[in-house]
A = this chain, B = another copy of it.
Amino acid sequence: MSPTPVPEMHPQRWGDPAAAHRLAASALELVELAFGLQDRPLATDTAPAPSALDEPVLDALRAAIGDEHVIVDDATRVLRARGKSTPDLLRARAGDLGDAPDAVVRPDGHAEVAAVLAWADEHRVAVVPFGGGTSVSGGLAARRDGYAGLVSLDLGRMRRLLAVDPVSMTATLEPGLRGPEAEELLAAHGLTLGHYPQSFEHASIGGFAATRSSGQASAGYGRFDAMVVGLRVATPTGSLDLGSAPASAAGPDLRQLLLGSEGTFGVLTAVTVRVRRAPEATTYEAWRWPSFDAGCDAMRTLAQAGLLPTVLRLSDEAETAINLADPSSIGASEDPGCLMVTGYEGSAEQVEARRAAVSAVLGGLGGTALGTEPGETWARGRFAAPYLRDALLDHGVLVETLETATFWSNRARLHADVRNALGAALGAGALVLCHVSHVYETGCSLYFTVAAREDADPVAQWAAAKSAASDAIIAAGATITHHHAVGTDHKPWFAQEVGEAGVRMLRAVKAELDPRGILNPGVLIP
């Protein structure tokens, strides 16, 4: 069975072009009041540079995977140019798509992926594995200098459910499957992955694994890296088949070296994941807390009691106030406090039991139950924020996000330091919002969203703010990214985080598996 294909994204915007968002009149008024309206139309001349790869070199590749799977037309190349961070979009909106690949190659299956890598190794061509193209950290922005050219290794033909083991509750998926496609194929077996990052509608299985993605239901289903039990990998120097048991003491866990490797060590050609039964029942509801501290303490209590809902999120005071500024959102009040969303998925019995137990704890800690309506509103809009970002960029409002994680005892400091760094860099008119979206026994993530009036050079404007926030994250001893990967954007801070010896370990593995450095050069490895 073939899953319903996901539409191509617009090269200058997020998501399905047919679903583009326009601000309503009431929202435009609020935006004008906060930032002033500017007009930022999309550039129409987006032709990339001609392909740098010679025909004889391309012919060798055509012989390996078929003529029709080596694509050099401008329109296709532009669609594989880069990811979807705000700087990516700002440059694309301005017509700068000069970093489009020289060709888009579409191998089918492990052997053809290996053949592409052998060809690239021989001709010293940089290879950028492409799943959904949703990177927000420059993960597709490979280096070209010193290479004969750069190809996008598009995994879009590898979209099969290869195996289901209903006894072990595992499934083997091809890397090109997008989130909804994987769920559609699993649903036919009554199964689900339960992995719903904001990029779900476009991001791919291979990308989830290669970037250590984490979804909105991570409290219940776990991070993607925790779902993976097996990996098949093609590298320029041989194949890897890892994962002979749920857990093992047979040396270091090499799966954990491929997870998060962002296409720099090899190309994932099959991912075996733990699956769950598709939930019979889902309920999302909301709670109000008098402060972010009180809400965070409640999340910590749940995590340390082993009593987590499937979804657990908490907005800080600033983010809650903005949510409530939307007239269609939940009822405004003078002191909105902090909004928490709790979601439950499973059998009807499981949902009710867990909901009752969690609600008893939250009520006992001072939370105010707001019922299901605001929770269901959140669930309906859970993938919408990137569309809203495009609509705001259309009016000259710089919108971007960044995220980190730390241990609970460091959470308040990290929140304050990053807020202050972003606020100082972006100036008095900027909004700096934050929420916790992933919790663990020992700590949590912090996800920041900023909105500011674009100045004359918004790419530089954001770069300065991002740099200040990243410095604050490392100074606080936190991680430079909890679920967005390193890419090119986080490299300087990643090097500080893992230290000189850690960087040497990564370089050694890279040199061993990819001695000519063809795989995503310049990404991840400092």
Partner of A501, one of B239, B244, B482, B498: B239
Q: Is residue A242 contacting chain B, with contact meaning CB distance below 8 A?
A: yes
CB-CB under 8 A from A169, the residues of chain B are 304, 408, 441-442
Whole-angstrom distance between the alpha carbons of A490 and B497 in the complex?
Answer: 34
Does A261 touch B at the CB level, under 8 Å? Answer: yes
A478 touches B245 (CB 8 A): yes
In the complex with contacts A249-B482, A482-B245, A498-B242, A442-B505 CB distance below 8 A:
no
Of A53-61, A377-385, A399-407, A461-469, the stretch lying at the interface with chain B is A399-407
CB of A477 closer than 8 Å to a CB of B: yes
A462 to chain B, nearest CB (A): 20
Is A237's CB under 8 angstroms from B168's CB? no
Known contacts A245-B407, A482-B248: A502-B240 contact under CB 8 Å = yes
Which residue from chain B places its CB closest to the CB of A409 in the assembled complex? B167
Which one of A167, A170, A442, A504 has the highest number of Cβ atoms from chain B below 10 Å of its Cβ?
A442
Write the nearest CB–CB distance from A232 to chain B, whole angstroms: 11
Tell me the minimal C-beta distance from A475 to chain B in angstroms: 12
The answer to whether A252 touches B247, judged by C-beta atoms less than 8 angstroms apart, is no
Which of A81-89, A120-128, A507-515 forms contacts with chain B? Answer: A507-515
A212: Cβ under 8 A from any B Cβ: yes
Q: Does A486 contact B (CB under 8 A)?
A: yes
A364 at the interface (CB under 8 A from B): no
Residues on B with C-beta less than 8 A from A444 are 246
Check if A435 is an interface residue, CB within 8 A of chain B.
Answer: no
For the complex, give the distance between the alpha carbons of A340 and B258 in Å: 37
User: Within the complex, what minimum Cβ distance (angstroms) separates A117 from chain B?
Assistant: 13
Given contacts A238-B501, A511-B508, contact A213 B407 (CB under 8 A): no
**Which residues of chain B are near A254, meaning CB under 8 Å?**
498, 502, 505-506
Q: Which residue of B lies closest to A218 (CB)?
A: B247
Contacts of A485 in B (CB 8 A): 249-251
Nearest Cβ on chain B to A275's Cβ, whole angstroms: 9
Number of chain A residues close to chain B: CB under 8 A: 81
Q: With A237-B504, A440-B246 given, is the CB distance from A260 to B251 under 8 Å?
A: yes
Asked if A481 and B257 sit within 8 Å, CB to CB, the answer is: no
Q: Cβ of A478: which chain B residues have Cβ within 8 Å of it?
A: 244-245
Closest to A248 in B: B479
Are A165 and B252 touching (Cβ within 8 A)? no
Whether A443 is near chain B, meaning CB under 8 Å from some CB there, is yes
Residues of B within 8 A of A512 (CB): 504-505, 507-508
- How many copies are assembled? 2
A246-B407, A499-B241 known; A513 vs B509 contact (CB < 8 Å):
no
CB of A240 within 8 A of CB of B165, answer: no
In the complex formed, the residue of B with least CB distance to A305 is B350
A130 interfacial by beta-carbon distance below 8 Å: no
Give the distance in Å from the alpha carbon of A216 to the alpha carbon of B332 in the complex: 52
Given A238-B500, A256-B256, A213 contacting B442 (CB threshold 8 A): no
A249, B477: Cβ atoms closer than 8 Å: no
> Does A480 lie at the interface of the complex (its beta carbon under 8 Å from any beta carbon of B)?
yes
B245 touches A404 (CB 8 A): yes
| Closest-CB distance, A297 to chain B (whole angstroms) | 9
Within the complex, the shortest CB–CB distance from A252 to chain B, in Å, comes to 4
Known contacts: A245-B482, A257-B256. The answer to whether A497 contacts B213 by CB under 8 A is no
* Contact A223 B247, beta carbon cutoff 8 Å: yes
User: When the two chains form their complex, are residues A506 and B170 in contact, meaning their CB atoms are under 8 A apart?
Assistant: no
16 further A-B contacts with Cβ under 8 Å, apart from A168-B408, A245-B479, are A169-B441, A211-B249, A240-B502, A241-B499, A242-B502, A244-B406, A244-B479, A245-B404, A245-B478, A246-B443, A247-B440, A250-B486, A250-B498, A253-B257, A256-B257, A504-B513
Can you pick out 21 interface pairs between chain A and chain B where the beta carbons lie within 8 Å of each other? A165-B409, A168-B409, A168-B410, A168-B442, A169-B304, A169-B442, A170-B442, A211-B249, A213-B249, A225-B247, A225-B253, A239-B499, A240-B502, A245-B404, A247-B440, A249-B479, A250-B494, A251-B260, A251-B494, A257-B257, A508-B508
